Structure 1
Amino acid sequence: MRPAVFLLAAIVLAGCGAFKGDVDKTAGWSAERLYKEAHSEVSDGNWKEARTHLEALESRYPFGGYAQQALIELAYVNWRDDEPEQALAAIDRFQQQYPNHEGTDYMLYLKGLITFTPPSAAFTKITRQDPSERDPKGLRESYEAFNELIKRYPDSRYTDDAKKRVAWLVSTLADNEVHVAQYYYERHAYLAAINRAQTVITDFQGVPAAEKALYIMYMSYDKLNMPELRDDAKRVLDKNFPNSKYYKQGLNEPKSAWNPMNWL
């Protein structure tokens, strides 16, 4: 019986040793210490450790200044650690809990940045795909966040950069509408093509894509045998874009030789 007792004792001791390894080293830490440690990990780029401390801070001390700052830091950490969904979730919690917080302008800016370059953009560095050809959902979310920042916080330190990004987003979203309009035109859905092209004219004034949008409208009205509307579209096209290139080249844009997909 004695060997069995020794064996049981050894198993118990081994189990105790295993439990010791699972002990939370941050147990009992103050909110201040958790935040300082998390901030230090952020400075060193240790996103996983920073996230652990910030999540502990948020759950243990849900009230007070450190909890508010923890959410801001948590959104940033998740963004830098390629966790956009978690970053957006942190921003949503922050906006719901602290709608008038002085850091709201930064959170709107960060939200715009997160959706400004969606994960699908990484492959386009190789294929040279036009961003406007991607799903515009992320681009629209980015536009809305930056636009809200510009309207609510015109004097924010982030507003100037947001304005530059909005200008790019407007142009890219207009390009997307033109891509869709061309898609419909090439499938003989001329009314749908006209509607999407018209969106570019009415919602994105002054963008380069307006030239192609007007040409699609001109061609679509011609296919529908609507000469008056066709001539109206042509008149606007000629006035704003004299000698438009689309009269010669048609709808298809020259493709980049750098895009491997073009070699297939």
Structure 2
Amino acid sequence: MRLGRVFSVIAVCFFVSACSWFGGDEKRLPDIPEQQLYDEAITALEQQEYETAVEKLQMLEARYPFGRYSEQAQLELIFAYHKNFEPEAARAAADRFIRLHPSHENIDYAYYLKGLTAFEQDQSMFQRFLPIDIDQRDPGAARSSFESFSTLINRYPDSSYAPDAQKRMLFLKNRLASYEVHVANYYMKRGAYIAAANRGRYVVENLKETPATPDALAVMYQAYELLGEQQLAQSARDVLLANYPNYPLKSYKVKNTSLLETATFGLFGSESEADDPPRPTTEDKQGLEKPENEAQKEQETKRPWYHKATFGIFE
């Protein structure tokens, strides 16, 4: 029994000493004063070494969560994430700062950085160098940016960041309105007229005075007209022509296609009705008889659709 206890003590000593043998002590980071960590982080930001700044600020927040630089480090970390092209981390850090410090004197800066990060995320590198239609892209980041800037302007109208946020909101407003009209036109092509009218009405009610407003009114007029809502269609048309008298308003018509025409990609099932034969101009017998090629064409038009589908195998 005593021998077993001796072996147990020896085993414990062996495992404890093994940590130092395999470099366990080398992983311990040296203690760095708070002031030194903060100064190094600020220096990295000034030298545009944003990855190093992120590491220093994260270390500062982890080691000194209640230190004198903790709040400022959290604010600087948002900027470091933003400059280091980490938009998700930047927005998460901004939300965390807003939640922990709702009455901070620089909270308007957190809202501004959150909106700016989403704004630049929407303006992708591909859009800057390639001819990409922005109206067809998901406006999730643009909508998030608009909401952050709107909160900043509504809560802190005297902020020094409010003028720039207002200018960016004007661009985002036009961007969101154009996207809504693009979706409305897609719904019109699919025959979803109620959804198209709702999209157009959203632009008219919430995104006024944008270049897409006349297009939204036109979609409302066309959708209501096809739905049989003549009063609503006339109202949308009157508002459109009263504010945009030179707008080229056109009637939107959808071609009704049969199931056979859809399945064959327009090859079959789209025959048009045959025109009436021309009246003879003379009493001559030759004028009353149909030429051979016209008689053959008339016979072909009378053949059923399955004759074309089977290439003449079945009559």
Matched residue, 1:217: 220
Report the 3-state secondary structure (helix = DSSP H, G, I; strand = E; otherwise coil) of the residue aligned with 2:82.
helix
Matched residue, 1:152: 155
Matched residue, 2:8: none
2:143 is equivalent to residue 140 of structure 1: yes
Comparing 128-137 with 85-94, greater Cα deviation is found at 128-137
**What TM-score does the superposition give when structure 1 sets the normalisation length?**
0.82
Amino acid corresponding to residue 39 of structure 2 in structure 1: K
Shift of 1:240: 0.7
Matched residue, 1:244: 247
Matched residue, 1:94: 97
Matched residue, 1:9: none
Cα distance in 1 between the residues matched to 2:44 and 2:101? 25
2:23 is equivalent to residue 56 of structure 1: no
Cα distance in 2 between the residues matched to 1:181 and 1:13? 67
Shift of 1:127: 3.2
Matched residue, 1:113: 116
Instruction: Indicate if the aligned counterparts of 1:212 and 1:246 stay in contact, CA closer than 8 A.
Output: no
Amino acid corresponding to residue 171 of structure 2 in structure 1: W
Shift of 1:19: 6.3
Kindly report which structure 2 residues correspond to 1:178-217, keeping only aligned pairs within 5 A, or say none: 178-217=181-220
Cα distance in 1 between the residues matched to 2:165 and 2:209? 19
Structure 1 spans left out of the alignment, 5+ residues: 1-11, 251-264
Report the 3-state secondary structure (helix = DSSP H, G, I; strand = E; otherwise coil) of the residue aligned with 2:121.
coil
Instruction: Indicate if the aligned counterparts of 2:119 and 2:141 stay in contact, CA closer than 8 A.
Output: yes
Greater share of helix residues, 1 or 2? 1
Shift of 1:243: 1.5
Please list every run of at least 4 consecutive aligned residues from structure 1 whose deviation after the TM superposition is greater than 6 angstroms.
Answer: none
Per-residue CA distance 1:46-98 (angstroms, 9 max, x = gap): 12211111011101111144011111111111111111111112112211111
Per-residue CA distance 1:149-172 (angstroms, 9 max, x = gap): 111111111010011111111111
Matched residue, 1:235: 238
Matched residue, 2:49: 46
**What TM-score does the superposition give when structure 2 sets the normalisation length?**
0.69
Cα distance in 1 between the residues matched to 2:20 and 2:146? 59
Matched residue, 1:166: 169
How many residues are matched?
A: 235
Comparing 222-231 with 192-201, greater Cα deviation is found at 222-231
Cα distance in 2 between the residues matched to 1:199 and 1:120? 24
2:86 is equivalent to residue 83 of structure 1: yes
Report the 3-state secondary structure (helix = DSSP H, G, I; strand = E; otherwise coil) of the residue aligned with 2:126.
helix
Larger Rg: 2
